[in-house]
Structure 1
Amino acid sequence: METRTALVTGAAQGLGQEFAVALAGRGYRVAGLDLVPQRETADRILDYVELVADVTDEAQIGGALERVLEQFGTLHVLVNNAGADPEADVEDITPEEWRRVMRVNLEAPFLMARAVLPYLKAAGRGRIVNIASAAVPTAPPTRVAYTASKAGLIGLTRALASALGPYDITVNAIAPGMVRTRTAERTGGAVGSGGGFEHVRAHQAVPGTQEPCDLVSTLLYVVDEGSGFLTGQTLDVAGGSACW
């Protein structure tokens, strides 16, 4: 079977890095896109294309895709993982910050999906996976912009699934809970005004703190060749978290 190619955004660390490594381990050729160099990710993957670009900039996205095609010749999978997750009380969210979150979490996946569409069509099939969030149903009070953007991403997922299904391209979302990454811990996820990891654990059916590796098997299932009838869905992988 043809070796497939995947592009993962936000691949420098955390979930994106684990997704890129997992796809490579499954035999995919992998390109990673992030605002910063991805040296640690590249060290873990033998044949890796490192793309430094802004997912909110159409010109930079186009240049990055040209490099992917030059290196691999085709593309089959897009994982929209890059995201922004500021924590703030609603009175403290500025319009500028709101727009930034919407651009990174909602507009960028649209721009990426539109940009890769010609390549997925040319390949004859494709998988687009959007990383949403269990924050949509739990609605943490200090992540209003983030929750709204991820709710929009779930809607975008369903709309794209309808639009792209005729081309044998599936579009699904994975909704993690609070995942222990270096970014989450650095920005206050370990404590946070809402209680952070401790609070989330108390509201899960499954005990423990979610790690990036807990999402890998779900991603591999969604992008698998045998998952062609799974589309327009949001898979909640959050330990059975209850309402906030």
Structure 2
Amino acid sequence: METRTALVTGAAQGLGQEFAVALAGRGYRVAGLDLVPQPETAEKVLDYVELIGDITDEAQIRQALDHLIGQFGTLHVLVNNAGVYPSRPFEEITPEEWRRIMRVNLEAPFLLTRAVLPYLKAAGRGRVVNIVSAAVLTAPPTMVPYVASKMGLIGFTRSLAAALGPYDITVNAIAPSMVRTATAERTVGADGGFEHVRDQQVVPRIQQPSDLVSTLLYVVDEGSGFLTGQTLNVSGGSAYL
């Protein structure tokens, strides 16, 4: 069988790194795209291409893809994982910060998906996975722009699934709870955010990156070609779709 290739954004650490390692363990060749170098991820993945670039910049996306295709020749899976999630009162959010959150969380997946689409079509099949959030269901009051961006990404997932289904390309979303990563520790960990979310779940522990791996592998599996346009809520029962 052909060795499949996956591109994961935000692969330098946290959930993106966990996804890259898991895909490699399943036999994928993996490319990681991040703003920063990814030495830890590269150490853990045998067949890995490190791509450094800004996912909100079309030229940098194109340059990264040219390098990926030059190394691997093809692409089958895109995981839109990178995102930002500042937590503060709504009245403190500036228009500039609102636009930044929308660019990273919603516009970047559009730009990336549009850029990789020719390669997915050429491969004859493909998987696009968007990482959203269970926060769209719990609606925390200090994350208004984040929730708005992730709800928009769910709408993008649904409509894009209809557009790409004829090409044997599926599009799905995964909605985690609050995952313990280094970025989340800096953003919401200091004020007890992990414990607050944990106490709203029916599974009474803090979610780890490894809790999302089996869902990702299920969504990208060759046998999951009839699953598309869906949002899989993996949040310990903090909310229900």
| Superposition TM-score, scaled by structure 1 size | 0.97
| Alpha-carbon contact 1:8-1:32 (below 8 Å) kept | yes
Partner of 1:50: 50
Consecutive unaligned residues in structure 2, runs of 5 or more: none
Any idea what SS the aligned residue of 1:146 has?
helix
Partner of 2:182: 182
* Distance in 1, Cα, partners of 2:195 & 2:53: 35
| Alpha-carbon contact 2:134-2:239 (below 8 Å) kept | no
Amino acid of the structure 2 residue aligned with 1:107: E
User: How large is the RMSD of aligned CA atoms in angstroms?
Assistant: 0.9
| Alpha-carbon contact 1:179-1:210 (below 8 Å) kept | yes
Amino acid of the structure 2 residue aligned with 1:123: A
* Distance in 2, Cα, partners of 1:190 & 1:208: 14
Note if 1:209 corresponds to 2:206. Answer: yes
* Distance in 2, Cα, partners of 1:182 & 1:53: 20
Amino acid of the structure 1 residue aligned with 2:122: A
The offset of 1:242, in angstroms, is 3.8
| Alpha-carbon contact 1:191-1:198 (below 8 Å) kept | no
| Superposition TM-score, scaled by structure 2 size | 0.98
Partner of 1:79: 79
* Distance in 2, Cα, partners of 1:54 & 1:156: 21
Any idea what SS the aligned residue of 1:21 has?
helix
* Distance in 1, Cα, partners of 2:48 & 2:85: 27
Partner of 2:223: 226
Partner of 1:165: 165
Provide the aligned length of Structure 1 versus Structure 2: 240
Q: Which stretches of structure 1, 4 residues or more, deviate above 3 A after TM superposition? A: none
The offset of 1:207, in angstroms, is 1.0
Partner of 1:4: 4
Any idea what SS the aligned residue of 1:199 has?
helix
* Distance in 1, Cα, partners of 2:239 & 2:48: 38
Q: Can you list the C-alpha shifts for 1:77-106, whole angstroms capped at 9, x where unaligned?
A: 000000011111000000000000000000
Consecutive unaligned residues in structure 1, runs of 5 or more: none
| Alpha-carbon contact 1:9-1:16 (below 8 Å) kept | yes
The offset of 1:186, in angstroms, is 1.8
Any idea what SS the aligned residue of 2:112 has?
helix
